[in-house]
A = this chain, B = another copy of it.
Amino acid sequence: MTTVKEIRLKSRPAGLPTRDNFEVATATLRDPGPGEVQVKNLWMTVDPYMRGRMNDTKNYVPPFPLGQTLDGGAIGEITASKDPNFKEGDLVQSSFGWREGFTAPSASVEKLDAGGLPPQAYLGVAGMPGLTAYTGLLRIAALKDGDVVFVSGAAGAVGSVVCQIAKAQGRRVIGSAGGPEKVAYLQSIGVDHAINYKAETDLSAAVLEGAPDGIDVFFDNVGGSHLEAALDAARSFARFAVCGMISTYNATAPSPGPSNLRQLIGKNIRMEGFIVTHHLDLLPRFHEEMSGWVREGKVTSRETVFEGIDNAPDAFIGLFSGENTGKMLVKLA
């Protein structure tokens, strides 16, 4: 394989991204030099945070440059190696997603021991989304006995793991997602009260129906009216782990925050945003606990798969209309 297709950022999206913002290009891979490997990608991930990188604004990660290949998590296998530590067929993880393959220094890829899980699980439950769920729920929100947990975007890659970890620890879980199929999925993973937010006019009331005495923990992937409902439903000393605000990522004008933020004071609420890369010290504990939960069937993996690099932009765009249940992935080979 010396010729691969890859996806470049052609123009910066205004609002919701469209196919026109992306370009499918062809690249020729050089043969690996000393200390280099060549990789054929099997899977790549698309994640909501990538939307922020498509704007030309300062963020916690630099913007994607125009005209260049996008990047992101990928799982591949070695097809050629000039490093004795890697051999053909080895599974590797890298940040060289959005392309069918690449040649790179071996130090920029990491050998993957899938430990009995399908390799793409390392882009989901066993990867960054899983660690994000684990960090937000257990460290940021500091889940404890008796807590009632509300999760927005509960059927997504992160939210579905949050729900399952909370259930594995015996907590009551209220989850919100868009549409009856997702509600059925949430019920199948043990969520106690699943809300189809698209069918609700009063989200606060819908949360309180599932948590009549209020919620102690809110894991937010959505922002906007979900955050407002969580403030209304919060009990004293509630903790909010703010992981994402996907409802605002494509806004072309500033979206006002919740009008009931003042409740932070009277209810002594702690609200904390976080980026998972600051919590990599949790990785060993996460891998140990998560593999236990997966073995015991307490955490299962659900995926929505698009096939082929040409469809990667559609997979990404689909995140914002909720086309995915569980992890959104692109299968490249």
* A interface list, Cβ under 8 A from B: 52, 59-60, 223, 227, 236, 242-245, 248, 254-275, 278
Contact = CB atoms under 8 A, between A and B. Distances in A.
Contacts of A278: 268
A272 B275 contact: no
A262 B223 contact: yes
A187 to B, nearest CB: 29
A270 B264 CA distance: 12
B261 A223 contact: yes
Nearest to A237: B278
Contacts of A272: 264, 268-271
Contact of A261 (B59, B60, B257, B275): B257
A271 B266 contact: no
Contacts of A259: 254-257
A298 B270 CA distance: 31
Copies of this chain in its oligomeric complex: 2
B60 A266 contact: yes
Contacts of A255: 259
Which of A236, A272, A278 gathers the greatest number of chain B CB atoms within 10 Å? A272
B257 A268 contact: no
B267 A270 contact: no
A56 to B, nearest CB: 15
A270 B141 CA distance: 11
Nearest to A265: B273
A230 B259 CA distance: 18
Q: Closest 6 CB pairs between A and B? A: A257-B257, A264-B273, A256-B256, A254-B259, A60-B266, A265-B273
User: Which one of A60, A223, A245, A261 has the highest number of Cβ atoms from chain B below 10 Å of its Cβ?
Assistant: A261
Given A60-B267, A256-B256, A256-B257, A262 B248 contact: yes
B262 A266 contact: no
Contacts of A264: 242, 271-273
11 contacts: A52-B266, A60-B265, A223-B262, A242-B264, A243-B265, A245-B265, A254-B260, A257-B260, A264-B271, A264-B272, A264-B273
